[in-house]
């Protein structure tokens, strides 16, 4: 395993961490991993958890902290689907497109959701309210087709049910 590294000085071009508690929490995660470059993915997970998405400044900050070239951090962040480099909507609707869901009509569900929201999968509504996403397989095949609303997995879904949920969300002023 690579040798532990001391905490690096924060360079001028990275955002100054003071004043934002989230940076302290991120710092703690990096410290836990002794600023090892191989902890990059763990650190990116934590950063996205704290900030919602990975901005360019945030990635640069991580690159400097872990002593990694910026292009490598960017390359890793864009390799994995889980990481988002753009802000997400306040709410999320994830339609599972795994095989079991596919065979049981996931395509129709996704089409209904796209129609209701007026955005394609992988995008956020212009008002920033909701991100429509797809998943490869949630492993909840026993209750296919599945849709995840704001982190809650629901099974045996129909296009109508999904439309109702999305419309209710639109009406509610959360």
Partner 1 sequence: MAARTFTINDQLISAREGETILQAAREHGISIPTLCHLDGVSSVGACRLCLVEIEGSRVLRPACVTPVVEEMIVRTDTERLREYRRMIIELLFAERNHVCAVCVANGHCELQDLAIAVGMDHVRFDYAFPRCDVDISHPLFGIDHNRCVLCTRCVRVCDEVEGVHTWDVAGRGADARVITDMRQPWGEARSCTSCGKCVLACPTGAIFRRGATVGEMERDRHKIAYIVAAREQRW
Partner 2 sequence: MDISELLAIAEHENALRRPIGIRCCTALGCQSAGALSLKQRLEEAVAEVDRTDIEVIGVGCMGLCGHGPLVQVDPHGVLYEHVRAADAPSIVAALDGGEATAPQGDPQHPFFTLQKRIVLENSGMIDPERIESYIAAGGYQALYHVLHDMTPAEVIDVVTRSGLRGRGGAGYPTGLKWATVAKSHGDRKYVVCNADEGDPGAFMDRSIIESDPHKVLEGMAIAAYAVGADQGYVYVRAEYPLAIQRLQRAIAQARRLGLLGAQIFDAGFTFRVDIRVGAGAFVCGEETALMASIEGRRGQPRPRPPYPAESGLWGRPTLINNVETFANIPPIIRNGAEWFAAIGAETSKGTKVFALTGKIRHTGLIEVPMGVTLRQIVEDMGGGVPEGRVKAVQTGGPSGGCIPAALLDTPVDYESLQRVGSIMGSGGMVVMDDATNMVDVAHFYMEFCKDESCGKCIPCRAGTAQMLHMLDLIRSGQATAADLAQLEQLCLMVKETSLCGLGQSAPNPVLSTMKYFREEYEALVRGERSEVRGQR
What residues line the site for partner 2 (CB under 8 A)?
1-2, 36-42, 44-45, 72, 75-76, 79-83, 97-104, 107, 110-111, 135-144, 146, 152-155
Question: Minimum CB separation from partner 2 for residue 103, in Å?
Answer: 4
Question: Minimum CB separation from partner 2 for residue 174, in Å?
Answer: 22
Question: Minimum CB separation from partner 1 for residue 13, in Å?
Answer: 8
Partner in contact with 152, chosen from partner 1, partner 2, none, beta carbon below 5 to 8 Å by kind: partner 2
Q: Which letter, b or e, does each residue of 133-150 get, where b requires 16 or more Cβ atoms within 10 Å of its Cβ?
A: bbbeebebbebbbbbbbe
Partner in contact with 1, chosen from partner 1, partner 2, none, beta carbon below 5 to 8 Å by kind: partner 2
- Our CB check for partner 2 shows the closer of 135 and 169 to be 135
- Our CB check for partner 1 shows the closer of 73 and 109 to be 73
Q: Which two tokens stand for residue 44?
A: 């990116």
- Rounded Cα distance between 91 and 118, Å, is 15
Cα–Cα separations (whole angstroms), residue 88 to 38, 134, 138, 139 = 27, 14, 20, 24
Partner in contact with 137, chosen from partner 2, partner 1, none, beta carbon below 5 to 8 Å by kind: partner 2
Question: Minimum CB separation from partner 2 for residue 9, in Å?
Answer: 22
Q: How many CB atoms lie within 10 A of CB 165?
A: 18
Residues lying near partner 1 in the complex (CB under 8 A) are found at 56, 59-60, 69-72, 74-75, 78-79
Q: How many CB atoms lie within 10 A of CB 74?
A: 17
Check whether the bond before 142 is cis (ω within 30° of 0): no
Q: Which residues contact 96 (CB under 8 A, 6 or more apart)?
A: 106, 134, 135, 137, 138, 140, 144, 145, 146, 147, 148
Question: Minimum CB separation from partner 1 for residue 20, in Å?
Answer: 20
């Amino acid at each position: 395993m690579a040798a532990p590294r001391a905490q690096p000085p924060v360079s001028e071009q990275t955002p100054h961490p003071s004043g934002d508690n989230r940076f302290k929490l991120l710092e703690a995660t990096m410290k836990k991993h002794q600023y090892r470059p191989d902890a990059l993915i763990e650190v990116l997970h934590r950063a996205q958890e704290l900030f919602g998405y990975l901005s360019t400044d945030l990635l640069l900050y991580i690159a400097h902290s872990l002593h990694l070239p910026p292009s490598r951090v960017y390359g890793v962040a864009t390799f994995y689907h889980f990481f988002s480099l753009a802000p997400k909507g306040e709410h999320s609707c994830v339609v599972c497109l795994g095989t079991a869901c596919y065979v049981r009509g996931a395509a129709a569900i996704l089409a209904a959701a796209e129609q209701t929201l007026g955005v394609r999968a992988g995008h956020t509504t212009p008002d920033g309210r909701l991100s429509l996403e797809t998943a490869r397989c949630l492993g909840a095949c026993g209750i296919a087709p599945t849709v995840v609303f704001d982190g809650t997995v629901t099974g045996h879904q129909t296009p109508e049910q999904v439309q109702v949920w999305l419309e209710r969300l639109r009406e509610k002023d959360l």
